[in-house]
Structure 1
Amino acid sequence: MCGRYSLYTDEENQEIIKIIRALDQKHQGNEMKTGEIYPTNTVPILYAKDVEITPELSTWGYPRFGSAKGVIINARSETAEERPMFRTSLHNRRCAVPSTGFFEWTQSGEKKKYKFNLPEDNILYMAGIYNEFRGENRFTILTTSANNSIADVHNRMPVILPGKLSEEWILSEKFALSYIHSNMPVLRREISI
């Protein structure tokens, strides 16, 4: 599961800064959140517009329907294609969620918060899907079974898009449907406060 992530605009995160600036110009006076990101925050995603990858603002979490409260922040990659809520988005509305890492807490013993990221990289893209609900663009992050670099902390992890795979994820349905069944890259961790 991914219930929180980070989006810091430190000097070494030039790719993130470029995305933030583009959205600030496009949507002046926006309510984009940076720093530690929580569900329902409005944040950047990358998606395809006329076959070109572009940043856009989106709210984290699909709304629940009926009497259920809250939002759906994650979708299991193994079953997303079977679920009516996610199927069409997986095929036609994929996005990459830029971050500077994601957080997980230990599930047993003393509760510790860890930040996970790709080794030797200041940016981490997570695979997402998006849709429009009542005129609002919303996204959810796809998750998969945890690999050895996170399994002792949590049994789920986001589908990670290292390097330039975010572009392929967004543009190629064939690649995306195959990639969700791939082994995820090894991550580094650090205790977070």
Structure 2
Amino acid sequence: MCGRYLFDPTTGALSKYYQEAAAKARKKQQTIAVNDVFPSNHVVTLGANRQQEIVAGVTKWGLTGFKKGHLMINARAETVEAKKTFQAAFQQYRCVFPMSGFYEWNHEKEKFYFSTEDPLYAAGFYRIFESEGKVETESIILTTEPNHTVAPIHDRMPLLIAGQDIPSWITDLSFARHILQAKMPSLHAIKV
């Protein structure tokens, strides 16, 4: 399961997304997590505006759970529509987590970093709710069966989508349902 990732705001497309999201975060007095990103951090996510244009925004990584202090940070791609907790948000509010790479740990608690030369885009979704008079947006990363690179380290990995598929993932439910079954691309893995 994806429980930590790297977001380097100084590189390529990630820099553009960061600048766009940072302007929105300042208005809400939020701080966007950069470099090592943890659950409960405010993070850059890509979503659709009212005109269905893809824009960078800010969400809190993790959905508030049923127990106090419980945070759900991942959802299984295979069962996302079968779970009432996730179904409506997945169908209506899909997003993408842009990242430099992600971390996984093996059974010996050794940490590995997975990446490519380009940014990675992890599929997710979000929900919007009102809390104490404020509008809050919480997000979650979808996970899937690991590819041949991740499988020796961990039994899950983020559901990654190609950069050119971001608009379709966010705006087309049929396309998104199809991607839930996609094979994951090869990645570079290094022990850190």
User: Scaled by the length of structure 2, what TM-score is found?
Assistant: 0.91
1:68: Cα distance to partner?
5.0
Write out aligned runs for 1:23-62 (5 A).
Answer: 23-28=21-26, 29-50=29-50, 51-62=52-63
Q: Match of 1:64, as an amino acid?
A: G
Deviation string, structure 1 residues 136-177 (Cα, Å, up to 9, x no partner): 100000001111111000010000012311221111111000
- The structural deviation recorded for 1:129 is 0.6
1:112 aligns with 2:110: yes
Matched residue type, 2:53: E
For 1:44, give the aligned amino acid.
V
Match of 1:138, SS state, is strand
**Secondary structure of 1:32 counterpart:** coil
Report the 3-state secondary structure (helix = DSSP H, G, I; strand = E; otherwise coil) of the residue aligned with 1:164. Answer: helix
Tell me the alpha carbon deviations over residues 17-51 of structure 1, each in whole angstroms, 9 at most, x when there is no partner.
11111122233253111110000000110001121
Question: How far apart in 1 are the matches of 2:89 and 2:55?
Answer: 17
| Equivalent residue number for residue 127 of structure 2 | 131
Distance 1:7 1:137 in 2: 19
> What's the secondary structure of 2:79's corresponding residue?
coil
Segments of structure 1 that go 5 or more residues without pairing to the other structure are: none
Residue segments in structure 2 that go unaligned for 5+ positions in a row: none
2:47 alignment partner AA: Y
Matching of residue 88 in structure 1 with residue 84 in structure 2: no
Of the structure 1 ranges 30-39 and 162-171, higher mean CA displacement relative to structure 2 is found in 162-171
Question: SS at the partner of 2:78?
Answer: coil
Give the Cα–Cα distance (whole angstroms) in 1 for the partners of residues 147 and 3 of structure 2: 18
Give the structure 2 partner of residue 191 of structure 1.
191
Percentage identity across paired residues of the two chains: 34
Amino acid at match of 1:88: A
| Secondary structure of 1:161's aligned partner | coil
Q: Deviations over 1:95-134 (max 9, x none)?
A: 0001110000112x4x32111113x32x111000100233
Tell me the secondary structure at the aligned position of residue 17 of structure 1.
helix
- The one-letter code matched in structure 1 to 2:156 is R
Instruction: Give, as a single letter, the amino acid of the residue that structure 2 aligns with 1:76.
Output: R
**Pairing of 1:97-176 with structure 2 (within 5 A):** 97-107=97-107, 109=108, 111-118=109-116, 120-121=117-118, 123-133=119-129, 134=131, 135-176=135-176
Count of aligned positions = 185
- Secondary structure in structure 2 of the residue aligned to 1:25: helix
**DSSP 3-state at the match of 1:78:** helix
Q: Which residue of 2 aligns with 1:78?
A: 78
Letter of the structure 1 residue corresponding to residue 65 of structure 2:
R
| Alpha-carbon distance in 1 for matches of 2:181, 2:22 | 35
2:18: which partner in 1? 20
CA displacement 1:49-82 (0-9 Å, x = unmatched): 12111111100000012x3532000000100001
1:97 counterpart SS class = strand
Between 13-22 and 32-41, report the one with greater CA deviation. Answer: 13-22
